Amino acid sequence: MALEALDIVNGIFSLIFVAISLLVGLIILSKYFQYKERIYFLVGCTWVLISEPWWPSSLSFLIAIVNDVGLSSQMYFLIGNLFVPVAIMVWLIAFTEFLYKEKRKLILMIFAIYGILFEIIFFILLFLNPELIGELNPPVDVNYKFFIMVSLISFLLIVVISGFLFANLSLKSDDPEVKLKGKLLVMAYISFSIGALLDSAIPLNEITIIITRIILISSAIEWYGGFILPGFLRKFLLKKK
């Protein structure tokens, strides 16, 4: 089965988003070794892992170039979902370093239970009836069923809501640079949520894929700016001040 144009566009733009996300996450993570501040390690790992749902389409595309088939459905589902609860847990650890410290153990315990339940149900379905997880349209497209869609939406809501609360700390600052970081983080959460929802909710064609993946790529860049704010971006966005 030869790759069709839609598969190629889907695979290439998944690969671009994943590559940029890995780069952004690793750059932020590397700041931990420079500054010894744990927040860089946590948010760097968060962004690496939060791009996981797009890992299998990228990998399956590369494999399909060789064998025209790509990943099996079980391997696709496993690669795309296994670490998503871990990503949310890592983010909540970072979030509760700044907000709701007194409720940190409760927040992390509640989500740990939720995440473990997700993993148990996921693995049961994966080995007993993977069709209840989703339908793979080989080699790169997938239509997830109710359980995964509800779970992913709930994970997304946790990140976005807590993310807005986190960014609001920076928005309240009198320091223009800190406030700019807050604005970039707000943009990152909005872009990621819009891109992720569109990617799963609208019919895929060459145009919609490009649009949704560009939105997702912008979220990675905004996340990077919100935590690192490199000099060139600082000068460009604050040049009028």
Predicted confidence at residue 110, as pLDDT, reads 97
Strand partners, 143: 135
How many CA within 13 A on the CB side of residue 228?
24
Indicate if the pLDDT at residue 203 is higher than 60.
yes
Least confident span in 121-130, 178-187, 201-210: 201-210
> Torsions phi, psi of 104, nearest 5?
-60, -50
Report the phi/psi class of residue 24: left, alpha or beta, with left for phi > 0 and alpha for psi in -120 to 50. Answer: alpha
Predicted confidence at residue 202, as pLDDT, reads 82
Q: Give the tens place of pLDDT for each residue, 88-127.
A: 999 999 999 999 999 999 999 999 999 999 999 999 999 9
Q: How confident is the model at residue 1 (pLDDT cuts 50, 70, 90)?
A: low
Residues 6+ apart with CB under 8 A from 217: 16, 17, 20
Say whether the peptide bond before residue 139 is cis (omega within 30 degrees of 0): yes
Q: Give the tens place of pLDDT for each residue, 9-47.
A: 999 999 999 999 999 999 999 999 999 999 999 999 999
Task: Give, in order, the Cα–Cα distances in Å from 189 to each of 224, 227, 233.
Answer: 12, 13, 19
Give the right CATH number for 5-237 from 3.30.70, 3.40.50, 3.30.310, 1.20.1070: 1.20.1070
User: What are the residue boundaries of the structural domains of the chain, listed by start?
Assistant: 5-237
Give the integer Cα–Cα distance in Å for 83 and 50. 8
Predicted confidence at residue 68, as pLDDT, reads 81
Least confident span in 153-157, 171-175, 228-232: 228-232
Q: Give the tens place of pLDDT for each residue, 39-79.
A: 999 999 999 999 999 999 999 999 999 988 899 999 999 99
Q: Is residue 30 within 8 Å of 44, Cβ to Cβ? A: yes
Rounded to two decimals, what is the model's pTM? Answer: 0.94
Give the integer Cα–Cα distance in Å for 135 and 153. 18
* 42/202: higher pLDDT: 42
Tokens linked to 193? 């949520």
